[in-house]
Structure 1
Amino acid sequence: MRIGIAGAGRIGAYHANTLTNLPGVDEVVLADAFPDVARRAAEEVGVTYSANVETMLDRIDALVITSPTTTHGDLIRAGIAAGLPTFCEKPVAASLDEAIELARLERRSEVPLQIGFQRRFDAGYRRARQAVASGRLGFIHTVRACSLDTAPPPEDYIRVSGGLFRDCNIHDFDAIRYVTGVEAKVAYAVGGNKGTSYIAEADDIDTGMGIFTMADGTLVTFSGSRENSYGHDVRMEVHGSLGDVAVGLDESLALVSAEQDVAWPTGPRVVNFMDRFLPAYQVELAAFLDVARGQTASPCTVFDGVQALRMADACDRSRREERPVRLDEIAGADLAEGGAR
């Protein structure tokens, strides 16, 4: 199988390296809007270089999109037009309206699409989902989720990221739906800035928190920050009437206990999301190859991407308007007939 990657930045090169080591991949082709960038990345990883995406589409069996968010929509459409099974990193598109349009296109098309929410393929999140689905936790009353980055992205990235909720916590939002199997009903969120000045200058926040009331009454809290230099901290706790489970509660946890004579966790700490989720990325791309071969349905559709984006937009509106926001106030509510996946 020949896999083409559109976007030769850090995550594109990372995926290229992962794909070359997966069974059944005969060739990986790397293209970028900046040909020199693609050439250098292809040489470093040891994959094939293509001068542009258009030329690449004629020589591949499946497409992986790792380019800037503003290009996702056009590339997804190009993949569908070429009949290529397509994987696209989150978010689906730069705007919710475009993402909704792509979800409708997905439903009309026979070309399989998969959106890149790698936490669905992390062993801990999968065990938490199974624990909930099996009923062994009883009814779920509380979920807590967090994503704390060790350092802010560069200023140029912040200005086009879409904001903390869309760029960072959107992974929590998808994981909340994935683990609980339930859609969000109401969002209330707040945010602030105490750190890097260019984040505030971009009308963004470096730290945010919020609460979701889910459709079944489960209460969910989440937090996110760009300013957690002690370590990359991604966790989820699920509390039920009969039991509890936690994701990310291991020796790498970026916390220090204040209790006397407690040495745990001993480290080493994880410093970035690529290290934290390396096995999940490998499983995710292997799953996409199965999708591309027609062996399984997409495990994370454009619809799923839209639902996470709607949660992010509800949080952003809540923060700005200082009020709870119902999800049915956010565009795309009519797509939600299928519920959480």
Structure 2
Amino acid sequence: MGLTVGVIGLGRIGGFHADTLTALPMVDEIVVTDANPAAIAATTDRLASARAASDADAMLNAGVDAVVIASATPTHAALIDKAVTAGVPTLCEKPIALSVSDSAAVVARVGDADVPVTIGYNRRFDPAMAAARSAVAGGELGFITTVRSTTLDPAPPPAEYIAASGGIFRDCAVHDFDTVRWLLADEVVEVYAMGSNQGDPFFADVGDVDSASVLLRFAGGSTGVVSVSRYNARGYDCRLEVHGSKDSVVAGWDPGTPVRNLQPDCGFPASAPHGFFMDRFAAAYRAELAAFCATTIDPTPTTSSACTVHDALEVALIAEAATRSVATHRPVTVDEIRDALVPSAR
């Protein structure tokens, strides 16, 4: 018998997860729910292996073996608590909660529970980024001088989304922060960020920026450089560079990389640019869900790329430090944020 997996939230990413789960050989059935009954009906009509649940409580009482939380961010913390209380392994899309303090409270409640909780940072399952991490861990690059992570969206999300997103560092750059921290297996100790607004004024109206760059100082001496923007009309650009004393590697440079190469007699990149994050990372999302389901079947401890709640809290602290750095025009240590926002941090 295969797994019965619940999916809470059937928007853009939740619908994609529902489709992906039904295609996994280890999954027999999915149970779906959403605040919008029409979304539930549309999913059960589309997917033969899907059945409906009226709400999260009904789903967790329906015999699910695991649950994927893809609902709105304000619901994440309560749903993680419900799933862990019910003893159901959980994968929740980022972030844990809207604030660092609320995230820390969730970690305090469930971080050491026997029920596994994974936070959805899919780039850990991108084959090239995973290979870069292996190269770093294996010493192939020597000591790491610089790691660069870039995320450029082709166009801004709706203004309503931006207003509730928490800002570009908490919403977008967190993926980069998680990637570089995971890749180096090292902690960020200091953050210096700057941002600008040259596009639509609604970013400034809600205290956000539309483009930003962040310098990260790691405990081991490496430097991280993160670049993010809501404006990159050529396409969705997400790539990684790792520079070491012995060698350098890149990930995300493929035929669909959305850049226009001005080097004479060079045809790279040769394909249509990536247009959307779900296009660029479709395989990574599938690998993440497959790994989650496999761990649900066999929880024997193994080396895993999954992001834990403890990892996700560290990423939230980095994002908060970047947000404060832009506001105060100075470097901000992660411990400054931890001391201010995480109860009993010391």
Residue 309 (str. 1) matches residue 312 (str. 2): no
Report if the CA contact (8 A) 1:187-1:327 is conserved.
yes
Give, in whole Å, the separation in 2 of the partners of 1:246 and 1:42.
41
After TM superposition, the structure 1 = structure 2 runs for residues 197-212 of structure 1, keeping only pairs within 5 Å, are 197-212=201-216
Aligned length: 337
Residue 49 (str. 1) matches residue 49 (str. 2): no
> Bigger CA drift: 183-192 or 285-294?
285-294
Listed one character per residue, the Cα deviations across residues 56-78 of structure 1 (whole Å, up to 9, x for unaligned) are 11111111100011100000000
Give, in whole Å, the separation in 2 of the partners of 1:228 and 1:45.
35
Give, in whole Å, the separation in 1 of the partners of 2:107 and 2:200.
36
Aligned AA for 2:324?
R
Identity between Structure 1 and Structure 2 (%): 42
Give, in whole Å, the separation in 1 of the partners of 2:126 and 2:342.
28
* Runs of 5+ consecutive residues of structure 2 not aligned to the other structure: none
1:218 is matched with which residue: 218, 222, 241?
222
Aligned AA for 2:310?
F
Aligned AA for 2:313?
V
Q: What SS class does the counterpart of residue 143 from structure 1 fall into?
A: strand
Q: What SS class does the counterpart of residue 267 from structure 2 fall into?
A: coil
Q: What SS class does the counterpart of residue 27 from structure 2 fall into?
A: coil
Report the Cα offset of residue 215 of structure 1: 0.5
Report if the CA contact (8 A) 2:101-2:342 is conserved.
no
- Report the counterpart of residue 194 of structure 1 in structure 2: 198
Give, in whole Å, the separation in 2 of the partners of 1:296 and 1:120.
20
Residue 260 (str. 1) matches residue 267 (str. 2): no
Listed one character per residue, the Cα deviations across residues 7-40 of structure 1 (whole Å, up to 9, x for unaligned) are 1111010000000011121111110122222222
Listed one character per residue, the Cα deviations across residues 246-269 of structure 1 (whole Å, up to 9, x for unaligned) are 011111111112222222111221
Give, in whole Å, the separation in 2 of the partners of 1:225 and 1:49.
38
Q: Per the alignment, do residues 287 and 34 of structure 1 end up closer, same or farther by CA in structure 2, a change over 3 Å counting? A: same
> Bigger CA drift: 80-89 or 254-263?
254-263
Residue 15 (str. 1) matches residue 17 (str. 2): yes
Report the Cα offset of residue 293 of structure 1: 2.1
- Report the counterpart of residue 171 of structure 1 in structure 2: 175
Give, in whole Å, the separation in 2 of the partners of 1:83 and 1:185.
35
State the superposition RMSD in angstroms: 1.7
Report if the CA contact (8 A) 2:104-2:342 is conserved.
no
Report if the CA contact (8 A) 1:85-1:291 is conserved.
no
Report the Cα offset of residue 106 of structure 1: 2.2
Report the Cα offset of residue 285 of structure 1: 0.3
Report if the CA contact (8 A) 1:327-1:333 is conserved.
no
Q: What SS class does the counterpart of residue 7 from structure 2 fall into?
A: strand
> Bigger CA drift: 267-276 or 327-336?
327-336
Q: What SS class does the counterpart of residue 203 from structure 1 fall into?
A: coil
After TM superposition, the structure 1 = structure 2 runs for residues 226-305 of structure 1, keeping only pairs within 5 Å, are 226-297=230-301, 299-305=306-312
Report if the CA contact (8 A) 2:76-2:96 is conserved.
yes
Give, in whole Å, the separation in 1 of the partners of 2:345 and 2:291.
24
> Bigger CA drift: 21-30 or 100-109?
100-109
Report the Cα offset of residue 296 of structure 1: 4.3
Give, in whole Å, the separation in 2 of the partners of 1:302 and 1:296.
19
TM, length-normalised to structure 2: 0.94
Give, in whole Å, the separation in 2 of the partners of 1:204 and 1:101.
26
Give, in whole Å, the separation in 2 of the partners of 1:191 and 1:307.
22
After TM superposition, the structure 1 = structure 2 runs for residues 78-117 of structure 1, keeping only pairs within 5 Å, are 78-117=82-121
Report if the CA contact (8 A) 2:101-2:343 is conserved.
no
Give, in whole Å, the separation in 2 of the partners of 1:82 and 1:221.
41
Residue 129 (str. 1) matches residue 133 (str. 2): yes
After TM superposition, the structure 1 = structure 2 runs for residues 117-156 of structure 1, keeping only pairs within 5 Å, are 117-156=121-160
Residue 66 (str. 1) matches residue 73 (str. 2): no
Give, in whole Å, the separation in 1 of the partners of 2:38 and 2:169.
33
Report the Cα offset of residue 2 of structure 1: 0.8
Give, in whole Å, the separation in 1 of the partners of 2:117 and 2:345.
18
> Bigger CA drift: 42-51 or 266-275?
42-51
- Report the counterpart of residue 5 of structure 2 in structure 1: 3
Residue 29 (str. 1) matches residue 26 (str. 2): no
Give, in whole Å, the separation in 2 of the partners of 1:335 and 1:303.
15
Give, in whole Å, the separation in 2 of the partners of 1:133 and 1:296.
23
Report if the CA contact (8 A) 1:13-1:45 is conserved.
no
Aligned AA for 2:239?
R
Aligned AA for 2:12?
R
TM, length-normalised to structure 1: 0.95
Q: Per the alignment, do residues 212 and 243 of structure 1 end up closer, same or farther by CA in structure 2, a change over 3 Å counting? A: same
Give, in whole Å, the separation in 1 of the partners of 2:144 and 2:117.
31
Aligned AA for 1:321?
T
> Bigger CA drift: 212-221 or 107-116?
107-116
